[in-house]
């Protein structure tokens, strides 16, 4: 069975808005790919062709871009993708322990997807949250900081029951100290 | 004039040349992979490194600053420079690998890196023998490898399109192929995918590389990553003879190299001519090898009771001579051909005019709208302008059919042009006439002929064509016939096998030599029968005569055509149509 | 000279609740500097002021921002751009997101002032795709600024027009390199461009472009408000201003802290971050993101976070993303992971980087797994020489430096892991 993909009127209106930000035809390809990935959950070849046609640019160009940037899902992934950071600071602070814990818990290796299509695990490069290591990102969205195996367990269980963790604001330490001082 | 010093030798230059191109123009051999004179410059292979410096100018006196020895103070760039992207400036000093140990070392280093992930499969690689990577590794590479790890594995034998096959492991990511589709053929069908050492070129999923110019990417690939599906594993380059020629499948007349082995054309590649085709040619021009090798007419054929049977040359000459005596000169229709050379058309017209026949006619083969404004023209034949300049009478297909059908015409002589096959004339038009066809391949027109004379094609003789741009260009014999011989014909190229093999070696055979002769030579023999010899020894004699009797060809000779990559006879296309 | 940091009040991210909201920002002198510039300054005066303040680029290279601006050619009526670099992908760096989260309008104000100074038509704010949450925050702030007339047509009635757009990356470290960032903005694979031409001549879409780091632009309103002399008096003399130190690793209180430049590394570890976890000793400090050479823990005395002091110590300021490692850290493992990062992130354009990063990583894996020999250490250093300065952009250098300096400065860790190449007879 071949699935077909298309943009609806609202998407096309949004794409027009995106196009207005750039002076040429090729430049909007990244934001439009983001839009498509949010809509379809991936940017498999069929979606790449849709993007190429919509923007009137070569399909090969879209393919080259999709395969260059790691956040675009050129192949279908699980419903929830755990991007576990293992770079340097996270490595120092136990990022690999978190990764292996997740792997054991879900019974898959990094780069794989569970059979029910719910979860994928990826070992990724620095996500820019080094002060809050170890950490991971869920499906290009929310950051889960200062992970422990218990915290990971509750996140996975929460997701199973449809609860996405919320954005976690990490207070700016100098503000916090001040508060503590004033409280004290 | 501004000057530049390369390895302590002074050169003068004009304009703002790039150092690499300037060195190439001077006959130096800097190593490089990604640079191509007709493409943009990505400077990504990092092989053409040089040390570069500029003299220091004293701001006050506007003169070069001198050191205590009285020599110019040179300020060198802190890093090695890629000469491909470096613009020459007055007084610049360049040190290449010949004079700089640093450059020599850097080039070795780059080659070591390139070879880290490149399979060392030269013995089974088609590119071996003409591979820039192989050559440069021999010349500038490291002695061995320090890489003791697993190479990156990538897809092999991917069919990118109908004609091009990719071995991604061999790719060194020079991006020439991608740039070709972006900048030259403009189909943008290729891209590099993935990142880092996993990079390789690809087409978008579900599409194929069916660019009409796709095989040019194989030519410019500096390694064996892109190979031609037709030529793959057919011949090693050092076993072939390379002979210059002209593409006769289209009016553009792309300059080509004809690669033969054992008298078969193995492949056709473009030959650089900035005035015509630059470094490129369309794919269908390369498919011409089938026509050149296969389905050839070998030995004359006569029709007996409806069957075409092979006959001897003397028999063919005699029946032709008899027929000419039977008919009156005005009963002969001579049809020239925009597919045949200037020389053949000239001699054909001259021969029969001498007998009293009317001027030869011809009918161009033009498919309106099939051109692309680049290297593919509407004109399907290579010599339409040549026929025009020779003064042949131009007829439309219907006019031609009508002239054949005229009741006064009893003998029709046609030079190679598949009139029936291309739909210009119906086979029925020849009914009731004695039809002589001089051609090199069996086709619907030869099937309709009463007498078929096998003639040499454009790669079996030296001959010239005038392209749509009005430029006369010529071929050189690349392939022997029964009556030509590489060792006797000084113009023909000699390959390794020709030089060192003998008749008795099992890799040399006479099988592929066709029993045919150039049309002019047959006509010369015919003329001998009627005591009217022209005295032509080679096509050089013919072109010399044309140049002396037809002012449109004045000053044209083969040496000039060779030296100047063709000679323009008409300055523009408008003029070409009106001649 | 020690910097007086204890009495320092954050300037980039001052302790004002809800400052990310435009009303709060306006209440605290927000957009006043922009108004002042539009009313009283000529573009040249802004450039001169910023140049005099010596704001050194906070993205890693540390180049004087005003000087960079002065490279822009004279306006010719055709479009000119700023690309604000919020790609922030260097491991150890997580500072610009604090600006997006806590003080986005300071950046917008700075970028608009920069736009006015260079006759810019549009600012593209390039933010790494992983920062989805912060991209949304930034977009909200830009929308608010448009609504209040701080962006768009006829800004604050001055007749100056400028647009600002957010462009999301999608996972590529290399796009933090300025020319690669421009390629990415143009919707292409992030391949760095050959220079020359430089961005100021031929940048985005072939037009003059200046690329500045987010934090760099956020410093601009401070200079306009208080003057270049005031700014120059903050922190280290040759590298002045407030800076966002992103400190991570084995310290008790990791995070981003805003202090003047030139703070001593020991103060940052022991005073600001509350010392090492478990009271352990410092083994190594990477001062400015993973590409900067690591310093030995026993050689930190007197080393300060500014360009000069770090150069003397044998490293660089980079992004001020400091990674602190304790005595139990295995430098072989650390170096392998750094090399893995650069191998993964090499764009694959230039040969020495494409194949060199892989060569480095594979050799380090061999050593990590106990199969290495002494000669492999020399090989590593050799490979660094073969990569440094031999590519279009600096990624090859960024990959080579940590290898060179980790192997030389922590050689004992490596020697412990490798076999001798030359074996004794019998």
Three-state secondary structure string covering B323-334: HHHHCCHHHEEE
C205 and C273, same domain (yes or no):
no
**Cα distance from A9 to chain C (closest Cα, Å)?**
23
In Å, the largest CA–CA distance within chain C is: 89
Mark yes or no for CB contact A45/B204 under 8 Å.
yes
Mark yes or no for CB contact B191/A64 under 8 Å.
yes
Mark yes or no for CB contact B192/A64 under 8 Å.
yes
Cα B409 from Cα B395, distance rounded (Å): 16
A91 and A64, same domain (yes or no):
no
Is C1 inside any structural domain?
no
Is A15 inside any structural domain?
yes
Count of structural domains within chain C = 3
CATH class of B3-111: alpha beta
Helix or strand (DSSP H, E) at B241 = strand B241-246
User: What is the three-class DSSP state of B178?
Assistant: helix
Cα B18 to chain centroid, rounded: 28
Mark yes or no for CB contact A68/B194 under 8 Å.
yes
Please identify which residue in the block is written with the tokens 């891209």: B191
Is C2 inside any structural domain?
no
Mark yes or no for CB contact A63/B189 under 8 Å.
no
Nearest CA in chain B to C363: B149
> Dihedral of CA A149/A153/A154/A159: which sign?
positive
Q: Chain C residues with CB inside 8 Å of A24's CB? A: 186, 205
Mark yes or no for CB contact C348/B173 under 8 Å.
yes
Task: Give the C window 171-230 contacts with B, CB below 8 Å.
Answer: 172, 189, 191, 194
Task: Give the B window 155-184 contacts with A, CB below 8 Å.
Answer: 181
Q: Chain B residues with CB inside 8 Å of C356's CB? A: 113
| Residue among C18, B552, C263 nearest A169 (CA) | C18
Contact B354/A at CB under 8 A: no
Mark yes or no for CB contact C93/A128 under 8 Å.
yes
Q: Chain B residues with CB inside 8 Å of A45's CB? A: 204-206
For chain B, percent helix, then strand, then coil, each to nearest 5? 30, 20, 50
CATH number for region B301-458+515-555? 3.40.50.740
- pLDDT at residue B503 in the model: 66
- pLDDT at residue C55 in the model: 95
Contact B196/C at CB under 8 A: yes
pTM of the model: 0.95
Is C10 inside any structural domain?
no
Domain holding A123: CATH number? 3.40.30.10
A20 and A58, same domain (yes or no):
yes
Domain holding C352: CATH number? 1.20.1440.230
A91 and A156, same domain (yes or no):
yes
**Cα distance from C426 to chain A (closest Cα, Å)?**
42
**Residue ranges of chain B assigned to CATH 3.30.70.20:** 117-228
Nearest CA in chain A to C80: A23
A86 and A54, same domain (yes or no):
no
Mark yes or no for CB contact B173/C349 under 8 Å.
yes
Subunits with 3+ C-beta pairs closer than 8 A to B: A, C
**Cα distance from A125 to chain C (closest Cα, Å)?**
6
C272 and C339, same domain (yes or no):
no
Q: How many CB pairs under 8 A join B and C?
A: 96
The residue length of chain C stands at: 426
Is C102 inside any structural domain?
yes
Nearest to A60 among B191, B194, B195 (CB): B191
Is A149 inside any structural domain?
yes
Mark yes or no for CB contact A26/C188 under 8 Å.
yes
- pLDDT at residue B486 in the model: 87
Contact C184/A at CB under 8 A: yes
Q: Which residues of chain B carry a pLDDT beneath 70? A: 502-503, 505-508, 572-579
Contacts of B338 (CB under 8 A, 6+ apart): B362, B363, B364, B365, B379, B381, B382, B383, B384, B386, B387, B417
A107 and A151, same domain (yes or no):
yes
C226 and C243, same domain (yes or no):
no
C315 and C407, same domain (yes or no):
no
- pLDDT at residue C171 in the model: 95
Cα C105 from Cα C325, distance rounded (Å): 35
Is C424 inside any structural domain?
no
Mark yes or no for CB contact B189/A67 under 8 Å.
no
Read off the tokens for C328.
């139990």
DSSP state of B170: G
A41 and A100, same domain (yes or no):
no
Is A173 inside any structural domain?
no
Mark yes or no for CB contact A72/C170 under 8 Å.
yes
Q: Chain C residues with CB inside 8 Å of B152's CB? A: 358
pLDDT over 90 percentage in chain C: 95
Nearest CA in chain C to B86: C196
pLDDT over 70 percentage in chain C: 99
Domain holding A50: CATH number? 1.10.10
Task: Give the B window 69-128 contacts with C, CB below 8 Å.
Answer: 78-80, 82, 85, 106, 109-110, 112-114, 116-117
C66 vs A183: which has the higher pLDDT: C66
Mark yes or no for CB contact C172/A70 under 8 Å.
yes
pLDDT tens sequence across A87-108: 999 999 999 999 999 999 999 9
Strands C239-240, C209-213: pairing is: unpaired
Mark yes or no for CB contact C79/A23 under 8 Å.
yes
C161 and C178, same domain (yes or no):
yes
Q: Which domain holds residue C252?
A: 238-326
- pLDDT at residue A179 in the model: 45
Contact C376/A at CB under 8 A: no
| Residue among B234, B201, B212 nearest B162 (CA) | B212
Is C217 inside any structural domain?
yes
Nearest to B196 among C346, C379, C390 (CB): C346
Is C16 inside any structural domain?
no
Count of structural domains within chain A = 2
C179 and C62, same domain (yes or no):
yes
Q: Chain C residues with CB inside 8 Å of B197's CB? A: 343, 346, 348, 354-355, 357-358
Contact C348/B at CB under 8 A: yes
C338 and C362, same domain (yes or no):
yes
A91 and A151, same domain (yes or no):
yes
Q: Chain C residues with CB inside 8 Å of B117's CB? A: 355, 358
Q: Within a 10 A sphere around the Cβ of B436, how many other Cβ atoms?
A: 22
Mark yes or no for CB contact C348/B197 under 8 Å.
yes
Which one of C171, C206, C348, C388 would you mutate to disrupt binding with B, by most B Cβ within 10 Å of its Cβ? Answer: C348
Q: Within a 10 A sphere around the Cβ of B299, how many other Cβ atoms?
A: 17
pLDDT at A16 over 50: yes
A96 and A129, same domain (yes or no):
yes
C62 and C111, same domain (yes or no):
yes
Domain holding C289: CATH number? 3.10.20.600
**Residue ranges of chain B assigned to CATH 3.40.50.740:** 301-458+515-555
CATH class of B117-228: alpha beta
User: What is the three-class DSSP state of B460?
Assistant: coil
Is C139 inside any structural domain?
yes
Contact C355/B at CB under 8 A: yes
**Residue ranges of chain B assigned to CATH 3.10.20.740:** 3-111
Mark yes or no for CB contact C255/A92 under 8 Å.
no
Left if phi > 0, otherwise alpha if psi is -120 to 50, otherwise beta: which for A121?
beta
A99 and A128, same domain (yes or no):
yes
C288 and C339, same domain (yes or no):
no
Nearest to C355 among B47, B80, B117 (CB): B117
- pLDDT at residue A183 in the model: 38
Q: In the structure, what pLDDT confidence band is assigned to residue C15 with cuts at 50, 70 and 90?
A: very high
Nearest CA in chain B to C349: B44
Q: Chain A residues with CB inside 8 Å of C168's CB? A: 30-31, 34
Contact B42/C at CB under 8 A: yes
Nearest CA in chain C to A127: C130
Read off the tokens for A51.
């993007």
> Dihedral of CA B413/B415/B417/B421: which sign?
positive
Domain holding C156: CATH number? 3.40.50.11540
Beta strands in B100-187 (DSSP E): 158-159, 164-166
Residues C78-117, buried b or exposed e (16+ Cβ, 10 A)? ebbbbbbbbbbbbbbbbbbbbbbbbbbbbbbbbbbbbbbb
Contact B144/C at CB under 8 A: no
Q: Which of C217, C232, C247 is the last residue of a domain?
A: C232
C291 and C253, same domain (yes or no):
yes
Q: Which domain holds residue A21?
A: 9-68
pLDDT tens sequence across C33-64: 999 999 999 999 999 999 999 999 998 888 99
Read off the tokens for B137.
């590794």
C282 and C140, same domain (yes or no):
no
The angle at the Cα of B410, spanning B409 to B411, to the nearest 5 degrees, equals 105
Is A175 inside any structural domain?
no
Is A182 inside any structural domain?
no
pLDDT at A181 over 70: no
Q: Which of C262, C294, C326 is the last residue of a domain?
A: C326
Which one of B76, B109, B142, B202 would you mutate to disrupt binding with C, by most C Cβ within 10 Å of its Cβ? Answer: B109
The ipTM estimated for the assembled molecules is 0.94
Is A184 inside any structural domain?
no
Mark yes or no for CB contact C91/A88 under 8 Å.
yes
Mark yes or no for CB contact B116/C392 under 8 Å.
no
Is A24 inside any structural domain?
yes
Is A74 inside any structural domain?
no
C253 and C291, same domain (yes or no):
yes
A106 and A156, same domain (yes or no):
yes
pLDDT at C424 over 80: no
Cα C343 from Cα C358, distance rounded (Å): 5
């Amino acid at each position: 069975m071949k699935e077909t993909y298309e943009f609806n009127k609202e998407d096309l209106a949004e794409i027009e808005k995106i196009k207005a930000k750039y002076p040429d035809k090729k430049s909007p390809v990244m934001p439009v790919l983001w839009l498509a990935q949010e809509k379809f959950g991936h940017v498999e070849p069929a979606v790449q062709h849709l993007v190429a046609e919509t923007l009137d640019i070569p399909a090969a160009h879209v393919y080259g871009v999709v395969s260059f940037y790691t956040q675009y899902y050129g192949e279908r992934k699980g419903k929830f993708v755990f991007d576990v950071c293992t770079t340097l600071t996270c490595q120092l602070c136990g990022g690999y322990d978190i990764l292996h814990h997740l792997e054991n818990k879900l019974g898959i290796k990094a780069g794989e997807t569970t059979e029910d299509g719910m979860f994928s695990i990826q070992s990724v490069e620095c996500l820019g949250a080094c002060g809050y290591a170890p950490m991971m990102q869920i499906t290009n969205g929310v950051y889960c900081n200062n992970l422990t195996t218990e915290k990971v367990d509750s996140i996975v269980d929460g997701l199973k029951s449809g609860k996405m963790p919320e954005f976690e604001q990490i207070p700016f330490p100098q503000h916090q100290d001040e508060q503590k001082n004033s409280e004290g | 004039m501004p000057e530049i010093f390369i390895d302590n030798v002074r050169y003068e230059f004009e304009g703002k040349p790039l150092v690499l191109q300037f060195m190439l123009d001077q006959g130096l051999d800097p190593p490089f992979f990604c640079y191509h004179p007709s493409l943009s410059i990505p400077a990504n292979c990092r092989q053409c490194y040089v040390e570069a410096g500029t003299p220091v100018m004293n701001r006050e006196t506007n003169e070069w600053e001198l050191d205590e020895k009285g020599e110019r103070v040179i300020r060198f760039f802190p890093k090695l420079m890629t000469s491909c992207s470096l613009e020459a400036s007055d007084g610049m000093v360049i040190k290449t690998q010949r004079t700089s140990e640093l450059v020599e070392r850097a080039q070795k280093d780059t080659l070591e890196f390139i070879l880290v992930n490149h399979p060392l499969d030269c013995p089974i690689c088609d590119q071996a023998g003409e591979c820039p990577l192989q050559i440069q590794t021999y010349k500038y590479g490291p002695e061995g490898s320090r890489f003791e790890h697993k190479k990156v594995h990538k897809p092999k034998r991917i069919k990118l399109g109908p004609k091009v096959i990719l071995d991604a492991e061999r790719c060194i990511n020079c991006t020439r192929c991608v740039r070709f589709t972006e900048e030259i053929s403009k189909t943008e069908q290729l891209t590099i995918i993935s990142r880092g050492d996993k990079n390789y070129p690809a087409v978008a999923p579900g599409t194929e590389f069916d660019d009409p110019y796709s095989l040019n990417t194989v030519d410019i690939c500096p390694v064996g990553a892109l190979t031609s599906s037709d030529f793959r594993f057919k011949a090693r380059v050092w076993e072939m003879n390379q002979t210059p020629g002209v593409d006769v499948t289209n009016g553009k007349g792309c300059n080509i190299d004809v690669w033969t082995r054992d008298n078969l054309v193995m492949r056709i590649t473009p030959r650089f001519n900035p005035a015509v085709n630059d470094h490129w040619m369309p794919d269908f021009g390369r498919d011409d090898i089938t026509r050149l090798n296969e389905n050839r007419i070998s030995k004359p054929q006569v029709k007996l009771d409806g069957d075409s049977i092979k006959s001897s040359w003397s028999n063919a000459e005699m029946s032709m001579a008899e027929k000419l005596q039977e008919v009156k000169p005005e009963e002969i229709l001579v049809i020239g051909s925009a597919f045949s050379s200037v020389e053949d058309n000239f001699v054909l017209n001259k021969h029969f005019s001498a007998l009293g026949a009317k001027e030869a006619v011809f009918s161009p083969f033009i498919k309106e709208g099939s051109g692309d404004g680049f290297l593919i023209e509407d004109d399907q034949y290579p010599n339409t302008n040549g026929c025009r300049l020779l003064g042949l009478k131009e007829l439309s297909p219907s006019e031609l059919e009508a002239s054949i059908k005229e009741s006064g015409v009893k003998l029709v002589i046609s030079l190679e042009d598949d009139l029936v096959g291309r739909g210009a004339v119906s086979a029925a038009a020849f009914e009731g006439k004695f039809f002589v066809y001089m051609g090199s391949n069996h086709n619907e027109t030869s099937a309709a002929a009463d007498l078929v004379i096998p003639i040499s094609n454009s790669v079996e003789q030296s001959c010239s064509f005038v392209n749509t741009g009005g430029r006369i260009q010529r071929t050189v014999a690349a392939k022997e016939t029964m009556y030509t011989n590489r060792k006797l014909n000084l113009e023909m190229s000699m390959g390794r096998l020709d030089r060192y093999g003998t008749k008795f070696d099992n890799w040399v055979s006479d099988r592929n030599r066709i029993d045919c002769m150039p049309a002019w030579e047959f006509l010369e023999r015919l003329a001998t029968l009627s005591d009217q010899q022209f005295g032509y020894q080679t096509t050089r004699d013919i072109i010399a005569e044309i140049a002396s009797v037809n002012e449109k060809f004045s000053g044209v000779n083969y040496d000039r055509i060779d030296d100047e990559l063709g000679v323009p006879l008409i300055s523009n296309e408008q003029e070409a149509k009106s001649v | 000279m020690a910097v007086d940091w204890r009495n320092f009040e954050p300037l980039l991210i001052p302790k004002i609740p809800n400052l990310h909201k435009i009303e709060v920002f306006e209440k605290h002198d927000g957009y006043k500097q922009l108004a002042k510039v539009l009313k009283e300054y000529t573009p040249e005066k802004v450039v001169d002021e910023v140049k005099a303040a010596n704001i050194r680029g906070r993205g890693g290279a540390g180049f004087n921002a005003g000087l960079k601006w002065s490279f822009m050619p004279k306006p010719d009526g055709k479009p000119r751009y700023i690309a604000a670099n919020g790609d922030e992908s260097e491991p150890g760096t997580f500072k610009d997101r604090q600006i997006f989260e806590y003080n986005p309008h300071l950046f917008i104000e700075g970028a608009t002032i920069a736009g006015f100074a260079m006759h810019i038509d549009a600012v593209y704010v390039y933010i790494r795709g992983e920062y989805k949450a912060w991209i949304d925050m930034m977009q909200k702030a830009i929308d608010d600024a448009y609504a209040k007339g701080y962006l768009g047509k006829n800004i604050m009635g001055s007749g100056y027009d400028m647009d600002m757009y957010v462009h999301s990356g999608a996972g590529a470290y290399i796009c933090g390199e300025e020319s690669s960032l421009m390629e990415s903005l143009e919707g292409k694979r992030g391949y760095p461009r050959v220079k020359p031409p430089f961005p100021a001549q031929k940048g985005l879409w072939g037009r003059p472009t200046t690329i500045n780091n987010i934090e760099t632009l956020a410093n601009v309103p401070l200079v306009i408000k208080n003057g270049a002399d005031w700014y120059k008096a903050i922190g280290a003399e040759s590298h002045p201003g407030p800076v966002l130190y992103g400190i991570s690793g084995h310290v008790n209180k990791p995070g981003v802290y805003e202090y003047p430049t030139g703070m001593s590394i020991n103060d940052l570890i022991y005073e600001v971050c509350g010392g090492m976890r478990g009271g352990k000793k410092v083994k190594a400090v990477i001062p400015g993101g993973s590409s900067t050479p690591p310093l030995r823990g026993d050689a930190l005395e007197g080393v300060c976070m500014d360009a000069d002091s770090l150069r003397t110590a044998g490293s660089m300021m980079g992004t001020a993303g400091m990674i602190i490692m304790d005595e139990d850290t295995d430098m072989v493992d650390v170096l392998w992971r750094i090399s893995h990062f650069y191998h993964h992130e090499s764009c694959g354009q230039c040969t020495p980087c494409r194949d060199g990063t892989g060569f480095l990583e594979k050799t380090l894996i061999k050593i990590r797994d106990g199969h290495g020999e002494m000669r492999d250490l020399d090989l590593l250093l050799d490979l660094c020489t073969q990569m440094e300065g031999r590519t279009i952009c600096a990624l090859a250098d960024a990959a080579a430096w940590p290898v060179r300096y980790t192997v030389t400065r922590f050689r004992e860790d490596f020697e412990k892991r490798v076999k001798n190449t030359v074996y004794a007879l019998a």
